[in-house]
Amino acid sequence: MPPGVTKTVPQYQKSKGSLIITGALELSTNQTTHFYSDSKDTEEMLRLLEILLKKYKDEDCIYLSWDAASWHCSQEFKDRVKEVNSPKYRKTQGTPLVKLAPLPAGAQFLNVIESIFSGMAKAIIHNSDYESVKECKKAINKYFSDRNRKFKKTPKRAGNKIWGKEIVKPQFSESNNCKDPNHR
């Protein structure tokens, strides 16, 4: 706004559109992968799985950890993971083993990517006035690109407030009891 002019926002505004971002965060390198989705459903999780299988094809194993949303743990998704984990598929496609490590229901705060999305929303979306969804996507893409570049240049693990403060050894094991004894 020019000097001396106060910006006003009408109480009722015409929608310029909406968007859904589907993404993944690689914890050890703090790199994000994202794309735009039409809905939050199993199809988008399958799409994300395929992207991650290609991106991490040189790894032996990848872990997928997320909250208890229904589309994260559908039978169709589990069946696809079982298929991509078969020795024949892995050998012919050259893909890593996929292990699922779901977070407990109601524990979205443990999902580190949520803080990444929150920071992006605060920096890019809140109090914004984009002319179109396309313009907003451009800003979001730049945000994630800049963020990835920053962490490639100065590596730092994601979730730095939790590293080294684990109750048990930080490895996936069904026998780990990660509950803090001081908070029963």
Residue (of 102, 133, 123, 108) closest to 15 by Cα position:
133
> What is the rounded (10 degree) CA torsion for 155, 160, 165, 167?
-90
- Give the whole-number percent of the chain exceeding pLDDT 70: 86
pLDDT band at 175 (very low <50, low <70, confident <90, very high): low
pLDDT of residue 184: 44
Which of 28, 25, 29, 46 lies closest to 37, judged by CA?
46
Enclosing domain of residue 85: 20-120+131-153
- CATH code where residue 146 lies: 3.30.420
- Which of 42-51, 96-105, 106-115 has the largest mean confidence? 42-51
| Domain assignment of residue 51, yes or no | yes
pLDDT confidence tier of residue 183, bands split at 50, 70 and 90: very low
Q: What average pLDDT is seen over the chain?
A: 85
Q: Above 90 in pLDDT, residue 169?
A: no
Whose structure tokens read 């570049």? 149
> Taken in order 84, 90, 94, 99, is the CA torsion positive or negative?
positive
Nearest CA among 129, 38, 49 for reference residue 85: 49
In a domain, 71, yes or no: yes
User: Which residues is 62 bridged to in the sheet?
Assistant: 98
129/97: higher pLDDT? 97
Q: Please compute the mean of the pLDDT values over residues 1-27 and round it to a whole number.
A: 85
What SS3 state is found at 97? strand
Which band of pLDDT confidence, cut at 50, 70 and 90, is reported for residue 113?
confident
pLDDT digit string (tens) for 122-160? 999 888 889 899 999 999 999 999 999 999 998 887 765
CA distance 54 to 48: 10
Residue 179 lies in a domain: no
In a domain, 167, yes or no: no
Q: Record the tokens describing residue 170, joined without a space.
A: 């930080």
Name residue, tokens 């002019």: 5
Does residue 42 lie in a domain region?
yes
Q: How many domains does the chain have?
A: 1
| Distance linking the first and last C-alpha atoms of the chain | 53
Pair 32, 51: CB distance under 8 Å: no
Q: 108 in a domain, yes or no? A: yes
Give the pLDDT score at 105.
Answer: 78
**Threshold 0.85, pTM exceeds:** no
Does 180 reside within a domain? no
Q: How far apart are alpha carbons 133 and 89 in whole angstroms? A: 38
Q: Which is it for strands 31-37 and 20-26: parallel, antiparallel or unpaired? A: antiparallel
Is 144 inside a domain boundary?
yes
Is the pLDDT confidence value at 95 over 60?
A: yes
